[in-house]
Amino acid sequence: MRVLITGAAGFLGSHLCDRFLAEGHDVVGMDNLITGSMKNIEHLFGNDHFKFVKHNVYNYIYLEGEVDAVLHFASPASPNDYLEHPIPTMKVGSIGTMNTLGLARAKEATYMIASTSEVYGDPQINPQPESYWGHVNPIGPRGVYDEAKRFSEAMTMAYHRYHGVDTRILRIFNTYGPRMRLHDGRVVPNFIYQALTGQPLTVYGDGQQTRSFQFYSDLVEGIYRLLLSGENDPVNIGNPSEITILQFAEAVLEVTGSKSEIIHIEPKDDRITDDPKVRRPNITRAKEVLGWEPQVDLHDGLRQTVEYFKDKV
């Protein structure tokens, strides 16, 4: 295949480029580098099957030649990023989605939108199945990300139903691993940085809010299987093993061997407004349709991630 991956210089996009190239496909990576880094893909330069295009996807996209698949993964993804870039976040999820869908339609390509567990908002049921419509504050600070993704899902289904585009909707749950940015504000790099530098691990509130962490390689496997499937309805890809943030902090301390203490704080900014109290995917559909479930143990994944961050601290 010849595949376009937007957000190619990001944490996840760069790993997707690696996977598709390893499978023998040609990859066009596209990124405007607002949060991505060329360091994530510099190892691909010189590969005849990889081409990088610096471009903002909410501007018109033109690509010569055939395209077999379009994977739209461009978007600020951490609260720090989308709160700093609220309007670009909305644009990449709306105009960027329309532009990439238009390209997929013109090229008769399969289309995948990278959606998120944030479409469920602060859920009132746990775990969250794909049939759950969510509990989202559309005008809260996080709404710029949540609603951009909800819009992108709706637009994707509209192109599928009205134009007959072969579409995939991927709902990604918390994912971690090498190539995350050290200071992007998410809990994994935050805790690892604090542990490696001997600082206290700062837990918001009582630490009883829950998350489900999957290693990037499990997610990439799920993405690849989903693209090759015939599934047009949304599919959760995440780890159903749910732990509290306090338990996760303890796991980071165990893996790093750090003597840092854990402290509880009450942040006074928008990062935790409407922050989900629970997060756990129901992955029944992924198991049945894709034959997929996560394989990497949390401690094993953390060890690989900590090794990556040791050189960044």
Report how many domains make up the chain.
Answer: 2
> 226's torsion region: left (phi>0), alpha (psi -120 to 50) or beta?
alpha
Contacts of residue 288, Cβ cutoff 8 Å, sequence gap at least 6: none
145 is catalytic: yes
In this predicted structure, the answer to whether residue 103 has a pLDDT above a threshold of 70 is: yes
Q: How confident is the model at residue 275 (pLDDT cuts 50, 70, 90)?
A: confident
Strand 210-212 and strand 242-244: pairing? Answer: antiparallel
Residue 53 lies in a domain: yes
Q: Is-contact 306 192, C-beta < 8 A?
A: yes
Residue 182 lies in a domain: no
- Indicate the burial class of 265 (C-beta count within 10 angstroms; 0-12, 13-18, 19 or more): exposed
- How would you write 150-163 as a 3-class SS string? HHHHHHHHHHHHHH
Residues 66 and 198 grouped into a single domain: no
Residues 32 and 151 grouped into a single domain: yes
* pLDDT at 123 (0 to 100): 96
Residues 247 and 113 grouped into a single domain: no
Residues 159 and 272 grouped into a single domain: no
DSSP secondary-structure letter at 268?
A: -
In this predicted structure, the answer to whether residue 268 has a pLDDT above a threshold of 70 is: no
Residues 66 and 151 grouped into a single domain: yes
Question: What percentage of the chain reaches a pLDDT higher than 70?
Answer: 98
CA separation, residue 123 to residues 67, 77, 137, 238 (Å): 37, 19, 11, 16
Joined tokens for residue 113: 């939108």
Instruction: Provide the residue type at 214 as one letter.
Output: Q
CA gyration radius for the chain?
Answer: 19
Joined tokens for residue 146: 């949540």
- Residue range of the domain that includes 302: 187-209+242-280+298-310
**Which of 82, 145, 159, 216 is flagged as catalytic?**
145
Instruction: State the chain's mean pLDDT as an integer.
Output: 96
Burial 42-68 (b: 16+ CB within 10 A, else e): eebeeeeebbbeebbbbeebebeeebb
Tokens 């690892």 found at = 192
* pLDDT at 39 (0 to 100): 97
CATH of the domain at 252: 3.90.25.10
In this predicted structure, the answer to whether residue 211 has a pLDDT above a threshold of 90 is: yes
Threshold 0.85, pTM exceeds: yes
